[in-house]
Amino acid sequence: MSVYFVGAGPGDPELITLKGKRLLEEADITIYAGSLVNPQLLQYTRKGSEIFDSASMDLEEIISIIEKGINEGKKVVRLHTGDPAIYGAIQEQINLLEQKSISYEVIPGVSSMAAAAAALKREFTQPGVTQSIIITRIEGRTPVPQKEDLSLLSRHQGSMCIFLSVQKIDEVVSRLQEGYSPETPVAVIYKASWPEEKIVLGNLSDIADRVKEEEIEKTAMILVGDFIRGSGEPSKLYDSGFTHGFREAKQ
């Protein structure tokens, strides 16, 4: 038997993948990140299966439940919010599973950064604006390498997705102003795709005050960059004068 690390998506229970939903339906044991995962996703688990909330567990306790389940021949799903590969804390679990020779698979999910862009109805990579996305965070209890400090990354002036940082919005803004202009658009999306989703729009000069007015202190994505304006140039993909492998250019 294997352990399945399943991406739950950003919150909306319909944004889990078909494969993730099927694995939840088949699981004998589901361990979900209760502080982040929408509990409505548990409706997909079958009656009689065991469900554990990992919010109060440490790493060893999680691995112990997984190991016990595998030794009993049970299918185990470890349900993570968003996509497990982005701030999912799965590598430390994988390392221990490999030490114990327990097989595993990772099932990708819809990241909150994708849900935030969808909420804004914007594309991160607009021609004439930017073709790069920077995914980062400010340091908290988990440090950030000095070479990845926001003040340095801001100098690229690409589209930026800042996770796990809204509680330090003043510091985030201060560092971003090292590279972006004060007029650079900023959007803070609270609980993207959840019923209580909230979007706060502004620019670097006023977004901190607006976020505080809305009393947003966690579970929010900070998006930064000119892509928020939606003023990019048309792509070549659908340009009638552009030839590619599936279409000849029109005269």
What is the chain's pLDDT, residue by residue, as a tens digit (251 residues)? 789 999 999 999 999 999 999 999 999 999 999 989 999 999 999 999 999 999 999 999 999 999 999 999 999 999 999 999 999 999 999 999 999 999 999 999 999 999 999 999 999 999 999 999 999 999 988 899 999 999 999 999 999 999 999 999 999 999 999 999 999 999 999 999 999 999 999 999 999 999 999 999 999 999 999 999 988 777 656 655 566 666 576 76
CATH superfamily membership of 3-107: Tetrapyrrole methylase, N-terminal domain (3.40.1010.10)
Q: Under CATH, what is the fold of the domain 112-229? A: 3.30.950
Structure tokens at 239: 């340009």
pLDDT score, position 57: 95
Q: Where are the domains of the chain?
A: 3-107, 112-229
* pTM (whole model) above 0.85: yes
Alpha carbon separation from 98 to 33, 105, 198 (Å, rounded): 21, 12, 40
For residue 210, count other CB atoms closer than 10 A to its CB: 16
**CA-to-CA distance for 95 and 218, rounded, in angstroms?**
29
pLDDT score, position 92: 97
pLDDT score, position 245: 64
Residues 6 or more apart in contact with residue 210 via CB below 8 angstroms: 188, 200, 201, 202
